[in-house]
Amino acid sequence: DAGVTQSPTHLIKTRGQHVTLRCSPISGHKSVSWYQQVLGQGPQFIFQYYEKEERGRGNFPDRFSARQFPNYSSELNVNALLLGDSALYLCASGGELNTEAFFGQGTRLTVV
């Protein structure tokens, strides 16, 4: 059974551009959360979706948005990229228990 899959694995974008990151949760999991991990720091919560509804939002600007599809996969969108958006973006998949969180390998975004 596949774990959490994220695409792409690496991405380089220019300031001002837009980026879309994708995540497929573990089969049967209905919850997807997104985290930003800046080098040398712990992951910071961005969004959480359950059954296609937003259930939580972290302290991130409106340039960050996300959605969850009927098959429970998810996209994270970031507009007007800044250099400070360079980070590892992690997706976590969860089941019925709100204490489950299994992470994917992440997407390494570099903004130049």
Partner 1 sequence: GESVGLHLPTLSVQEGDNSIINCAYSNSASDYFIWYKQESGKGPQFIIDIRSNMDKRQGQRVTVLLNKTVKHLSLQIAATQPGDSAVYFCAEIPPIGGYNKLIFGAGTRLAVHP
Residues engaged in binding partner 1 (CB under 8 A): 4, 31-33, 35, 40-45, 48, 50, 55-56, 90, 92, 94, 98-106
What does the alpha-carbon distance between residue 107 and residue 99 come to, in Å, rounded to a whole number?
Answer: 23
Closer CB to partner 1, 19 or 93, in the complex: 93
Query: 17, 78 in Cβ contact below 8 A?
Result: no
Question: 39 or 83: whose CB is closer to partner 1?
Answer: 39
Closest distance to partner 1 from the beta carbon of 81 (Å):
22
In the chain, the N- to C-terminal Cα span, in Å, equals 37
For residue 92, the minimal CB distance to partner 1 (Å) is: 5
Using CA atoms, how far residue 93 sits from 54, 83, 85, 100, 101, in Å, is 14, 28, 22, 8, 5
- Pick the closer one to partner 1 by CB: 24 or 31: 31
